[in-house]
Amino acid sequence: MSAAAAPLGFAAAGAPNTIAGLAVSFLPMLMAAASFFRGFGNDPEGRVKDVKKIYKYYDFVVVGAGSAGAVVANRLSEVEDWRVLLLEAGGDETDLSDIPVIAAFLQLTDIDWKFKTEPQPTACLGFQGRRCNWPRGKVLGGSSVLNYMLYVRGNRRDYDSWAAMGNEGWDYNSVLPYFLKSEDNRNPYLAATPYHGTGGPLTVQEAPWRSPLATAFVQAGEEIGYENRDGNGEFQSGFMIAQGTLRRASRCSTAKAFIRPVRHRKNFHVSMHSYAHKILIDPHTKRAYGVEFQKKDKIYVVYATKEVILSAGSVNTPHLLMLSGIGPAEHLREMNIPLIHDAPVGNNLQDHIAAGWMTFLIDQPVSMVQSRFENLPSILRYQLFSSGPLSVPGGVEGLAWVKTKFENQTDDYPDIEFHFVSGTPASDGGAQVRWIHGQSERTWNEYFAPISFRDTWSVVPMLLRPRSNGYIRLRSDSPYDKPIIIPNYLVDDQDVKVLVEGVKIGLALAETQAFKKFGTKFYAKPFPGCEHLPLWTDDYWACCTRHYSSTIYHPAGTAKMGPKWDKTAVVDPQLRVYGIQGLRVIDASIMPNVVSGNTNAPTIMIGEKGSDLIKEYWLNGDYKR
């Protein structure tokens, strides 16, 4: 993105001051069109108003209005006698965030926390400073406003394994009703099955437009032996056109699904631009009783008469817990933070890492080259008819789950997920993707720049169950200093071996008739930093993967759920923080292990189930026992 877009708040960090062509003019034109049509009532849910008067006492204070927090606030405020305050560090969604294809433009903007990992010795080697960008939503709706909208639940065995660890009530059959509760699936062939719901707040459907390459992807999967099936249904293994959190060809964030429809409830307050400093905890009774936060240069303290619910996400939740005195004792002493409870907060960090470099050239003009949809006819088609390439979620048109040689071929437990993109980082000529991924100058100039604006496609193999895990720690005792993020990507060599096998399956797709009819050829230019290795060997593929190791933005596990005998657990199966009364964590950080798929839908499920756990406790009299 260019500095010309800076007045809109959408200039990518590190991008050059000028970018030739339509990339300069496209965003202002799209913003103007979106605002124009919104003025004609294209926003039926209405915008959320910031609370004018913040009460001193609420029954529940929810910190974080993201994929889980928005759900929790909605469901708790269903009880008319309960006062609920939802705190969000960011503001409301923008007009542009509704447009699916430009998801990448939203990263590194004011609605992104703009986190970065520490330099990695085993991954991110082809990025600036060997660091991966970690976008997280700082906005109503959280990361559901920044993400690529892919609706994926994971594998049945993920949840059954959670229950087997001692987390009663988190097996697949127990959590499936919560997926169905949220969902309003608009694709009839899916909605008619027992694995999908209708009538829920969250709209799910396929994009209304697709390129010929999307169809080829599914056909290629069938050629190599996989079925075309719903990966959220009875079986996961297979190829499919992506399902997304889309409504009328626009993004359906959790703010749009869960907050806007209930914004007029008298017992529900939303406070935006409210930066949480810490959870207030009585050191003697070990009870959480409120939250301290800053808003417009003023420090507020609000009290929760029942509970504080921390839904700040897998980075900010452990950050706030540690700032509040809950965390590893030695680390908190180093930060000069009074210890309230010694807990393994910030440990067990897991994320899905992927080989993001795979590039295939084609000789037909059918891919999503950015200049093809950066024009007024494309905008009008989108705004008037809710169709066209602008409706594709982040350019990801297909998903697949495949099994490498390391998995039992008779089990439905794939270890690789493919994201199929009808383009590559070169498709925009360097305007955005290179910056959001943080490519080094060498990576861009030597590998991607020579094929700028060429017709290409890519398949991104994502490691579903990483063995490597990392941790999050405080940088200082200031809530404004971003935490230290050490994901330890690919430290375990087995993770690389699985990804290399995923690469090979991706290469096999290019040899199918489905893709050959487009003149598909693997882009055979040696990857920068790996030229010293024999080409097309396992060592070469591993090197490429370590250089262009892309996060798929799924951090999880940093406030692990587990039974009381699990010394690595931070919360119990009721999501209550061990050692502290009146405090729960409800977000992706409670996952014992990251699910085998994208994490947005599971996080919404956690919000639904967590809300019911709270209602059962307070409405059924459990708190009196």
Average pLDDT over residues 242-261: 96
Average pLDDT over residues 388-413: 96
C-alpha R_g of the chain: 23
Q: Is the pLDDT of residue 41 over 90?
A: no
Boundaries of every domain in the chain: 52-93+140-202+251-346+556-620, 98-138+208-241+353-485+501-551
Confidence of residue 535 (pLDDT cuts 50, 70, 90): very high
Given 341, 419, 547, 554, the catalytic residue: 554
Give the whole-angstrom CA distance, residue 87 versus residue 312.
10
Name the least confident of 23-27, 510-514, 567-571: 23-27
Give the whole-angstrom CA distance, residue 594 versus residue 587.
12
- Residue 249: alpha-carbon gap to chain centroid: 19
Using a pLDDT cut of 90, give the percent of the chain over it.
88
Q: Is the pLDDT of residue 533 over 80?
A: yes
Residue for token digits 């594998």? 155
Cα separation values, 63 from 67, 146, 475, 529, Å? 12, 19, 21, 43
pLDDT tens-digit map of 171-226: 999 999 999 999 999 999 999 999 999 999 999 999 999 999 999 999 999 999 99
Closest CA to 538 of 502, 488, 511: 502
Average pLDDT over residues 44-49: 78
Closest CA to 47 of 109, 110, 103, 93: 93
Q: Is the pLDDT of residue 550 over 50?
A: yes
Number of H helices and E strands in the chain, helices first, is 17, 26
Confidence of residue 29 (pLDDT cuts 50, 70, 90): low
**CATH code at 52-93+140-202+251-346+556-620:** 3.50.50.60
Q: In what order do the strands lie in the sheet with 202-206?
A: 183-185, 202-206, 243-244
139 annotated binding-site participant = yes
Give the whole-angstrom CA distance, residue 320 versus residue 211.
44
Q: Is the pLDDT of residue 36 over 90?
A: no
Average pLDDT over residues 236-265: 97
3-state class (DSSP) for residue 602: helix
- Residue 424: alpha-carbon gap to chain centroid: 20
Q: Is the pLDDT of residue 32 over 80?
A: no
pLDDT tens-digit map of 5-22: 222 233 344 444 332 333
Q: Is the pLDDT of residue 612 over 50?
A: yes
pLDDT tens-digit map of 271-282: 999 999 999 999
Cβ distance 258 to 270 under 8 Å?
no
3-state class (DSSP) for residue 279: strand
Confidence of residue 623 (pLDDT cuts 50, 70, 90): low
Would you tell me how many other CB atoms lie within 10 Å of the CB of residue 478? 11
Residue 19 is predicted with a pLDDT of 29
Average pLDDT over residues 425-434: 92
Give the whole-angstrom CA distance, residue 613 versus residue 572.
12
Q: What angle do CA 552, 483, 575 make, to 5 degrees?
A: 75
Give the whole-angstrom CA distance, residue 303 versus residue 285.
16
Q: Is the pLDDT of residue 1 over 70?
A: no
Residue 372 is predicted with a pLDDT of 82
For residue 341, indicate whether it is catalytic.
Answer: no
Cβ distance 515 to 220 under 8 Å?
yes
Average pLDDT over residues 325-345: 98
Residue 624 is predicted with a pLDDT of 63
Residue 20 is predicted with a pLDDT of 31
Residue 375 is predicted with a pLDDT of 81
Q: Is 132 exposed, middle or buried (0-12, 13-18, 19+ CB in 10 A)?
A: buried
pLDDT tens-digit map of 486-506: 999 999 999 999 999 999 999
Residue 47 is predicted with a pLDDT of 86
Give the whole-angstrom CA distance, residue 114 versus residue 116.
7
State how beta strands 84-87 and 268-271 pair. Answer: parallel
Query: Dihedrals φ, ψ of 512, to 5°?
Result: -80, 160
Confidence of residue 593 (pLDDT cuts 50, 70, 90): very high
Half-sphere exposure of 264 (CA within 13 A, CB side): 3
Q: Is 250 exposed, middle or buried (0-12, 13-18, 19+ CB in 10 A)?
A: buried
Closest CA to 301 of 619, 515, 56, 487: 56
Residues β-bridged to residue 485: 472
**Of the CATH numbers 3.40.250.10, 3.90.1150.10, 3.40.50.10190, 3.30.560.10, which one belongs to the domain with range 98-138+208-241+353-485+501-551?**
3.30.560.10
Encoded tokens for 413: 């437990």
Residues 6+ apart with CB under 8 A from 341: 286, 325, 326, 577, 578, 579, 580
Dihedral (CA of 107, 559, 140, 203) sign: positive
Matching CATH topology for 52-93+140-202+251-346+556-620 and 98-138+208-241+353-485+501-551?
no
